[in-house]
Amino acid sequence: MSHISQTDPTKKEFNEGTRSPKFGPDASKVLVAKLIDGYLAEIARDPNLPLSKFVNLAEHITSISRPSHDGLYRAIDMYLKEHPGINKSERKRICRFMECKKLSAEACMHAVQNERLPLSVVVQVLFFE
């Protein structure tokens, strides 16, 4: 490896055995979380998707891996829109993975007006807004 030029910062990082923060393990977790949230948003549109399958996927991604919960909120909103018959307890269950303090201002504005969300979630959004 001594033949690699030390003037190129990416080669220097490689030589020193360090990883760029952009491509480190934390970044990988964020990318996986975004991918899962996008997938959740897609499958949420299926009227035959049981709540248990949606919840099972959502709970596999830790909150730490999601710097923003906008993608998760979008998926939850789509699920609630497509499954209007679920009861209050099920709506609370599906929302428990979402951290309101990690929603963007736009998502917060939408959430406080969202009649599909449990009232307790709307109150949390208002608190963190």
- Token look-up 């690699």 returns 4
Q: Which two tokens stand for residue 95?
A: 């929302």
Tokens linked to 33 = 């979380």
Asked whether residue 19 carries a pLDDT value surpassing 60, the answer given is no
| DSSP letter assigned to residue 23 | G
Question: Cβ distance 72 to 66 under 8 Å?
Answer: yes
pLDDT at 4: 43
Assess contact for 111 and 121: CB atoms under 8 A: yes
Model pLDDT for residues 22-50, shown as the tens digit of each residue = 556 688 888 988 999 999 999 999 999 99
What average pLDDT is seen over the chain? 84
Q: Does residue 103 contact residue 63 with C-beta atoms inside 8 Å?
A: no
Q: Please give the sequence-ordered ranges of beta strands (E in DSSP) within 1-117, or none if there are none.
A: none
pLDDT digit string, tens, across residues 56-96: 999 888 777 788 999 999 999 999 999 999 999 999 999 99
**Is 12:22 a contact under the CB 8 Å cutoff?**
no
